[in-house]
A and B are shown apart, each in its own frame.
Chain A
Amino acid sequence: MIINFKINGKETLINLTKNKRLIDLLRDDLKLTGTKEGCSIGECGACTVIVNGKAVNSCLVLAQQVDECDVITVEGLAEGNKLSELQQNFLKYGAIQCGFCTPGMLMSAYALFLENPTPSREEIETAIEGNLCRCTGYKPIIQAITSTVSGE
């Protein structure tokens, strides 16, 4: 089946094989390997991408479901070489250690901002609750997102 969707702002036409997951479409076909796979069952959030403004686990979504959709991955966050404020704050506050959870974290936070530009700390924690990080203890991540809200 042929699907037509927008990936990081670019219209794309893809001929899909049957039963392909969105994550495989992104990583294998489009070589967008920024999206990670940590559990394959929707528990770790490493595969989080944004479909029509909402954060989804790309390991649980079939590729054909994004037909006619707008998909954003971590590769679409920076404008050229200019990092978004959220990305810069991840750097500044040490929100990254191994970095394997980072793309998913960024996408969950980004989706939260699309919905609510001024989330409270609790709303931030809820937004990334489904993203597991084993390295950072979350505090620097929460700090980075909070600072993006307050524009610090």
Chain B
Amino acid sequence: MDNSFNIVGKAVIRQDALEKVTGRAKFADDINEPGQLYGVMVRVPTVHATIDEIDYSELLRVKPDSIIVDSTDIKGSKKIGAIRQDQPIFSFDKIVTPGDVIAMLVGESEDELKSLSKKVKIKFTELPALTDPTRSLEPNAPKIHPQYESNLIVHYPLRKGDVEKGFKESDFIHEETYTTQLVEHAYIEPETVLAIPLEGNKGIKIIGSIQNPFTARKVVASVLNWPLTKVRIVQAELGGSFGGKDDTMNILSARAAVAALKIGKPIKIHYSREESILESYKRHPYILKYKVGCMKNGKIIAMKIDILADGGAYSSMSPFVTWRSVVQATGPYDIENVWTDVRAVYTNNPYTGAMRGFGSPQPIFAQESIMDEIAIKLNLTPDEFRRINGFKAGSFTASGQKLENHDVNLLDVLDTAIKETNFTSKWKEYKSKTSFNGYQLDKISDTNAEQLILKKKDYINPNKLLWKGIGLSISYRGCSLGAEGIDAAEAYLSVQNDGSAYLLSGLAENGQGMRTTHSIIAAEVLGISPDKIYYLETDTGLIPDSGPTVASRSTLMGGGAVKAASDILRNRFEDFLRLEWKLKSQSEFIFKDGFVSVNGNPQQKISFSDLCSLAYKNGICLAAIGWYKSPEVNWDEHTGQGSAYFTYVYGCQVAEVTVNIGTGQVYIDKITAVHNPGKVINLLGAEGQVYGGVTQGAGYGLWEQVTTDGGKIRELNFDQYLIPTAKDLKEIKPVFVEGKDVYGAWGGKSLGEPTLELTSAAIANAIRNATGKRFYNLPINLEELLLRRKLFPKDLKRGSS
């Protein structure tokens, strides 16, 4: 541990823990307004159709005073979207996916509204459903959004060197195809929003489980056709997000706002789990084709990658998600010749957008699986092969960026993981034991069902059912938004004359512990305890737009801004003390444990609270605004070359598993997660990110999948959508290898997403080590392991009835 810090790097208890442990924390659905009404959605049971007529006559006959809100009530933008405005607040021309909403009924009783919603008669003409993304770009494929030329949402090419020449010069070529599945964020709190019209001309206030208050504000203002200032978004305590409470929440906010203004009353919308899974966006399924040219000595000299991402019915964040994929698709390997194409396409499937990882878990699963296959071919251990090709200081990325100005400690991270787990000897031992040839269940198909009867050769000795395996994966990850967008954040720090302080940054607390991290940074600079800092409520009316809380940027960017604000105040205090105590201009101070003293003269000191009151009496301004802007980055859209991100973090995870080859079950014995987050600010928070991220990553690797039947989702609740429970991962070990960095606050960078992106690949490699078999399709569930395919019920019927 670094002794020069008082608080940074130690385990600090979350500031909001007390409310949360007593049930007093107010999540969106815990907040109610007198006289509030509820909004209930009207949907159509179809996947793809044109809307011919929306007929409310029967509804109005049953209940003449029904309050109906639909697209005709929208004065501003009827469709929204970050890049392409293709997603309607209320559908009016087409249905493109089953989550689409035609109208909202408003009233006092949700139950009554739900039954009334069936009285809305919608005439529609069914269109052929497009559910296979590989067909999206065929000339005769149904067009999801006819206003665009094709179903292509975005195409990113990346061209470096001469890939064909590289393949020609290679000693051998290795080609494989991988697929990943659609998954749900599964935050435990479903979506809720409350829109409150303010008196007079003051506009509207919206409180909700909103991940990105500034994006929500922009959407609501454009839908209402109002100036931004009249829309105030207040974030309630957020019950998990993981990238998931963005677009969906913006749209729900807009629906609630339109309704609230139409009838002049507060409107609450809160989703059931089924509605949440039905309508919210998910993580992109990818199809990934890799071709790798390698030399006998283990050096990779060429890589060709073709990735197809299913964007589903709306473009949402697809252009950003897939951009990260094109930057990072080779993995952390210095390769001279690279040719990558990443495409995202429309289908009628549930739409896909931001989810923790953001375009990295998919390529990492493919690329790290392939790295192991090539290592095995070359008779190298997985770590030896990665050492040959892995990034070092001064290496060049696929986009031609030289890695410099930060600690490029990928190989340190790898070595730490290898030592920590005794990787190499375990890997060799488990590998040598692997051989079960008679085991051919995956050759059985429905058409030769007689083969389902196991033969003698299929018999497995019950004592030999359990096979152990170990596997690793490594990654690099660009921090923050990169060339995706403008990257800056603000923080406001206001010290009171008793030495306590208000703090607020323009980024949002999504449950990750950002408020505590930011408070630690300010407390460290001012030498006070973090509990002296009161973190204000996130409110778009109080702080400038600091961009979205995504891309693991809250510590790096927000932390940088908090540090800047704190430094401004500290300098002001120091200048004041020099005058007050008649010190030389070069004299220095120590801010520690609530006291400020002169460096070298500990007798001359003052308590921080006395200092504040003295400064206040002398008319010193005790508030400051800090701003942190990222260094320049650049990108050439045509060649995919440029400095994509201003800094990177590195990680390595090792999975140790036991596979039951009789049942197909994979037990996770231990995941060792070694990460370089730059500087750890709050150890408790950092470890928490690892535990949580690894667990989500394991769910992605082994169990989680949203499937559709003709475009309709099968898994609408946690009885069918299986996320990890307390029993599913035996042990998780976080290890931090800190880097010496200059960015943000003392080099504190990113951690939240790296923890998730590596896990499924490490598990897949461990299963390979245990069984001798490579699995190409996530999740590697029982059926995949035994049969190499997924089994689904024939229809959407649930239960035994």
Contacts and interface: CB of A to CB of B under 8 A. Distances in A.
Task: Tell me if chain B binds chain A.
Answer: yes
Interface of A: 27, 32-41, 43-44, 46, 73-75, 77-78, 83, 87, 90-92, 94, 96-103, 106, 125-126, 128-142
Given A44-B188, A87-B22, A134-B242, A96 B17 contact: yes
B107 interface: no
B729 A137 contact: yes
Given A129-B727, A135-B511, A106 B21 contact: yes
B540 interface: no
B510 interface: yes
Contact of B695 (A39, A44, A75, A137): A137
B29 interface: yes
Contact of A83 (B21, B685, B695, B724): B21
A104 B639 CA distance: 52
Contacts of A75: 22-24
B726 A94 contact: no
A84 to B, nearest CB: 9
A104 B273 CA distance: 17
A132 B725 contact: yes
Interface string B706-738: 000000000001110001111101001000000
B21 A139 contact: no
Contacts of B693: 137
Nearest to A108: B726
B513 interface: yes
Given A41-B719, A94-B684, A100 B272 contact: no
A139 B693 CA distance: 12
B692 interface: yes
Given A34-B22, A102-B21, A136-B692, A43 B726 contact: no
Given A43-B719, A101-B188, A94 B23 contact: no
B7 to A, nearest CB: 16
B13 interface: yes
A127 to B, nearest CB: 9
Nearest to A98: B511
Contacts of A78: 22
Interface string B207-243: 0000000000000000000000000000001111110
B467 interface: no
Contact of B189 (A33, A41, A100, A137): A100
A40 B273 contact: yes
12 contacts: A32-B23, A33-B29, A36-B239, A39-B718, A90-B21, A94-B688, A96-B20, A100-B189, A100-B240, A128-B726, A137-B692, A142-B726
Contacts of B188: 36, 38, 44, 46, 98, 100-101, 132-134
Given A40-B273, A126-B727, A137 B18 contact: no
Contacts of A106: 21
B11 to A, nearest CB: 7
Given A43-B719, A138-B726, A73 B23 contact: yes
Nearest to B111: A19
Contact of B14 (A35, A74, A96): A96
Interface majority SS (helix, strand, loop, mixed), chain A: loop
Contacts of A133: 188, 726
A38 B29 CA distance: 11
B750 to A, nearest CB: 17
B681 to A, nearest CB: 14
B694 A134 contact: no
Interface in B163-192: 185-190
B773 interface: no
A149 B691 CA distance: 22
A130 B723 CA distance: 11
Interface string B231-264: 0000001111110000000000000000000000
B430 interface: no
A105 to B, nearest CB: 9
B249 to A, nearest CB: 15
A86 B695 CA distance: 23
A45 B387 CA distance: 45
Contacts of A92: 13
Given A36-B189, A99-B16, A137 B725 contact: no
Output the residue of A74, A87, A96, A103 with the most chain B CB within 10 A.
Answer: A96
Contacts of A138: 691, 695, 724-726, 729
Contacts of A131: 726
Contact of B718 (A35, A44, A137, A140): A44
A140 B688 contact: yes
Given A44-B718, A129-B726, A134-B188, A96 B21 contact: yes
A129 B725 contact: yes
Contacts of A140: 687-688, 691
A97 B512 contact: yes
B718 A103 contact: no
A33 B32 CA distance: 11
A99 B24 CA distance: 11
